[in-house]
A and B are shown apart, each in its own frame.
Chain A
Amino acid sequence: MLVYTLKRLGLALLVTLAVSMLSFALLYLSGDPAAAIAGETANAEDIEAVRIYYGFDRPWVVQYGEWMFNAIRGDFGTSYYFKLPVSQLVAERLSVTMLLGVCGISFALLTAVPLGVAAAVRPNSIIDRIALFLSVMGQAMPSFWFGLVLIVLFSIKLRILPPSGSDNWQNFVMPTIVLGYYAMPAIMRLTRAGMLDVLGADYVRTARAKGAGEFRVMFKHALRNAIIPVVSLAAVQMGFMLGGSIVVESIFALHGAGYLAWESIGRNDLPTVQALILVFSMFYIVFTFLSDLLNAWLDPRMRVG
């Protein structure tokens, strides 16, 4: 298990390094950064002055090394737009996004897993049909549309939830539902398929033959084996929620990191975009690493490095 953990950790670090190089390269992929900062009215001399001021005239390797060294210390430079330290900016916005992401994935898991198990226990029953209907709806409705429907219903007609903002918990109810419902169908269908598969397994019959009750058979013997692919999927979706909830954050005007990324791209605020890309990628890397560890704990056969 230790060897496995170290190997996974090494892999995660390598991916981090690759991602950091890519997000650094972004600076140059989107054109001349000095020209972008100097603005459209600047002449060649101004651009040159900006280039020297920001250090864009130095070799790439030196610039990357400096950027990476500072990033490790939590210094991502200064936002071109806000003239504030990027790290401070990102940290503020990230707390909103993380809260939303955790709520969203919890909502998705807490609805999808029990529903998936119930659907698998009685295939083609009314519960299975309802679960199928809910998952097809979730797949088919775009988040922005579903979000707007909720706003119309709960904020305008019923007036029980605020349509926008991020000041108190009521602001998070609708975004959580929209974001969670987006992730729910895949988790639910995967849980159902996994359970159906496992419930026909010989070891489930063995558990029954031992005299184990239905609840124990379902949750101790079957679900632990069926949930393994779900863990990997949920990890990816969690990464997506922490990085990609731009649409949901925009609709509900939640000032989160996704919203900041979207704004910063429009403003050509490259240090902020770089920092956000690195942070979002780190989420994926960390969650993948954690899901690998969790899966190895669930299934001993995976522990072999």
Chain B
Amino acid sequence: MENILSVRGLTVDIPLAAGTLHAVRGIDFDVKRGETLCVVGESGSGKSLTSLAIMGLLPKQAQRSAQVLDFEGVDLQTASNRDMRKLRGNRISMIFQEPMTSLNPAYTIGDQLMEALLLHRKVPKPVARDRAIELLEKVGITAAANRMKQYPHQLSGGLRQRVMIAMALMGEPDLIIADEPTTALDVTIQAQILRLLKDLQRELNMAMILITHDLGVVARVADKVAIMYAGEMVEAGSAAEVFTAPKHPYTRGLLNCIPVPGKTAVGEHLGSIPGIVPSLIDDVDGCAFRSRCDEATAQCASDIPARISPAGHLYRCVHDYDMNQPKSGKA
């Protein structure tokens, strides 16, 4: 199947007083229709900037460049503001991290939902209203017609995120980007929202990019996984490949940090990754992870080319890792 979104060599630079911050350093990925790509990484790894770079919503001072940034044949780098506006909310939608503040407090839910459609289609208002009510019902909101008249402050966080999802779906997008959509919600609500997103994505056959730092989330919904570290994609592949045969020491570190029911004994220490993320101001040479890596050698200070395993699994590490070997260093 054809890719909906192709990204090659995407970089985002932010000029600061202390030098240029290389927040995203040349990442590549593709998403196909009906596919979910999970982008995983810790805070500051460049995941949110990556999504904003696709949307063309980066902060003014940030500079974006890429070899390829193609959405269904449209080059997002050369597209005019007007063309980008036509794509946003219509063919590419985004759901944000913070449902409590992402809705405008001054307008009703109905107004804001209908606006998402009326901005892009010449349809009569009653049609937009019917579609809004239909989508509110679809995202599991009862008494949808009454909710339309309510204001954001009258809804809970979980409901607001459902409204945001409904709003993202108003224009029947081909691609939906969800930037940590469940981070601000209760754990019980998190699972509901995720299941909802996944179901909708399948039902409407959309492509979805789900940004998260929660590997538990990834295991449940991802077709493909991309692991980001310090603005770089250190590993990418199918969810099954990345989870069962992680190639990059950082990915293995992350996987060590989560308890596995049945395998992790009560009272056993969970893994952790020592050290901190290096500064991304000015040039970063070699592997950005080497200062925290148990397996680092002199080779790691030189440039690390991307390697691809026979299974189509991309990783950026000079070492070959054998799953059968005992883990070095850590207990």
Please report A residues at the B interface, Cβ cutoff 8 Å: 201-203, 205-213, 221, 224-225, 298-301
**B98:A202 contact, CB within 8 angstroms:** yes
Expressed in whole angstroms, the minimum distance between the Cβ of A117 and any Cβ of chain B is 16
> A203 and B102 in contact (CB under 8 A), knowing A208-B88, A209-B94, A213-B85?
yes
Whether the pair B104, A209 counts as a contact (CB closer than 8 A) is: no
Tell me if B105 and A225 are in contact (CB < 8 A): yes
In the bound complex, what is the Cα–Cα distance between A212 and B57 (angstroms)?
Answer: 12
Report yes or no: A206 in contact with B103, Cβ–Cβ below 8 A: yes
Tell me, rounded to whole Å, the shortest Cβ–Cβ distance linking A298 to chain B.
6
Listed residue (B86, B104, B119) with the most chain A CB atoms within 10 angstroms of its CB: B104
A202, B153: Cβ atoms closer than 8 Å? no
Tell me the B residues contacting A by CB distance below 8 Å.
55, 57, 85-90, 93-94, 96, 98, 101-106, 115-116, 119-120, 151, 153, 164, 167, 171
In the assembled complex, the CB of B77 is this many whole angstroms from the nearest CB of chain A, namely 18
Given contacts A203-B105, A298-B106, 16 further A-B contacts (CB under 8 A): A201-B101, A202-B98, A202-B101, A203-B102, A206-B96, A208-B57, A209-B57, A210-B167, A211-B87, A211-B88, A211-B90, A211-B119, A213-B85, A225-B104, A225-B105, A300-B105
Chain A residues lying within 8 Å of B89, measured Cβ to Cβ, are 209-212
Q: Are A203 and B103 in contact (CB under 8 A)?
A: yes
Across-interface contacts of A298 in B (CB, < 8 A):
106
| A-B pairs with beta carbons under 8 Å apart, 22 shown | A202-B102, A203-B102, A203-B103, A203-B105, A206-B96, A206-B102, A206-B103, A206-B167, A208-B57, A208-B88, A209-B88, A210-B119, A211-B86, A211-B89, A211-B90, A211-B120, A211-B171, A212-B89, A298-B106, A299-B105, A300-B105, A301-B105
Instruction: Contact check, A300 vs B115: say whether CB atoms are below 8 A apart.
Output: no
Q: Indicate if the CB atoms of A299 and B88 lie closer than 8 Å.
A: no
A210 touches B57 (CB 8 A): no
| Chain A interface, >50% SS class | helix
Q: How far is the CA of A201 from the CA of B96 in the complex (A)?
A: 12
Flag if A212 contacts B101 (CB, 8 Å).
no
Min CB–CB distance B310 → chain A (angstroms): 39
Q: Which 4 A-B pairs have the closest CB atoms?
A: A210-B89, A211-B89, A211-B88, A202-B101
Cβ contacts under 8 Å, A202 to chain B: 96, 98, 101-102
Contact of B106 among A212, A213, A224 (CB under 8 A): A224
B104 CB contacts on chain A under 8 angstroms: 203, 206-207, 221, 225
Closest Cβ of chain B to A212, distance in Å, is 6
User: How far apart sit A209 and B48, CA to CA, in the bound complex (Å)?
Assistant: 14
Write out the residue numbers on chain B whose beta carbons fall within 8 Å of the beta carbon of A210. Answer: 88-89, 115-116, 119, 167
Indicate which residue in A209, A224, A300 contacts B55 across the interface (CB closer than 8 Å). Answer: A209
- Expressed in whole angstroms, the Cα–Cα distance for A18 and B130 within the complex equals 53
**Nearest B residue (CB) for A205:** B57
* Chain A nearest CB, measured from B304 CB (Å): 34
- Among A205, A212, A299: residue with most chain B CB under 10 A: A205
A120 CB to closest chain B CB (Å) equals 13
A225 partner residues in chain B, CB cutoff 8 A = 104-106
Q: How far is the CA of A301 from the CA of B87 in the complex (A)?
A: 33
A299 with B115, Cβ < 8 A, contacts A202-B96, A209-B55 known: no
A225→B119 CA distance, assembly (Å): 21
Contacts of B101 in A (CB 8 A): 201-203
CB nearest to A225 among chain B residues: B106
Q: Which of B55, B94, B119, B153 contacts A301 (CB 8 A)?
A: B153
Q: How far is the CA of A210 from the CA of B89 in the complex (A)?
A: 4
Contacts of B106 in A (CB 8 A): 224-225, 298-300
How close is B155's CB to chain A, nearest CB, in angstroms?
12
Which residues on the B side are within 8 Å of A301 (C-beta)? 105, 151, 153
Query: B140 CB to closest chain A CB, in angstroms?
Result: 21
Residue of B nearest to A213 (CB): B85
How many angstroms between the C-alpha atoms of A291 and B103 in the bound complex? 25
Q: How far does the alpha carbon of A202 sit from the alpha carbon of B87 in the complex, in Å? A: 20
Chain A residues with Cβ below 8 Å from B171 are 211
Cα–Cα distance between A213 and B101 once the two chains are bound (Å): 20
How distant is the Cα of A50 from the Cα of B177 in the complex, in angstroms?
A: 85
